[in-house]
Amino acid sequence: MKILVINGPNINMLGIREKNIYGTGDYSFLCTLLKEKAKEENIQLEIKQSNYEGEIVNFIQEAYGNVDGIIINPAAYTHYSIAILDALKAVDIPTVEVHISNIHKREEMRHKSVTAAACVGQISGFGLKGYLLAMEGLIDFFKNKK
């Protein structure tokens, strides 16, 4: 199985930005966590991050025919990016949306996810562990599909 992890704007600033919300683990720590879990589960993993909506759309389109699943944290784009939603729908790759914080306990503008409609599930509020839960969710999704 091959999984692509896509991180949106400011995720590269983990460990620096709003530690009370996102914790103290930096982006490198997140990538290490994901790589260790992937190795443990015998999964090929690719991790990408961009602060640009169009580049995220390109990552999704390039995944078509090349990966089995996507884990995405669209960050702020979650709440208004029809372009990312449309890209996810176009490639039709099982996707899990992840949010480090609980978006439903934050400002009202963060409560709505536009992109979740194209996902098989959403995980929110479990910190960086949410990414690991998303990976487990995709593993289970494919096991149950057989």
Single out the catalytic residue among 22, 27, 79, 80. Answer: 22
From 64, 79, 99, 131, active-site residue: 99
As a dihedral over the C-alpha atoms of residue 48, residue 50, residue 56, residue 59, rounded to 10 degrees, the angle is -30
| Phi, psi angles (nearest 5°) of residue 54 | -60, -35
**Could you tell me if 96 and 86 are in contact, meaning their C-beta atoms sit under 8 angstroms apart?**
no
27 is catalytic: no
Is 64 among the residues known to form the active site?
no
| C-alpha dist (Å) from residue 50 to 28, 41, 65, 142 | 15, 26, 21, 27
Beta bridge partners of 26: none
60: which 2 tokens? Answer: 């999704």
Cα 29 to Cα 34: distance, rounded to the nearest angstrom = 9
- Give catalytic residues, as residue numbers: 22, 99
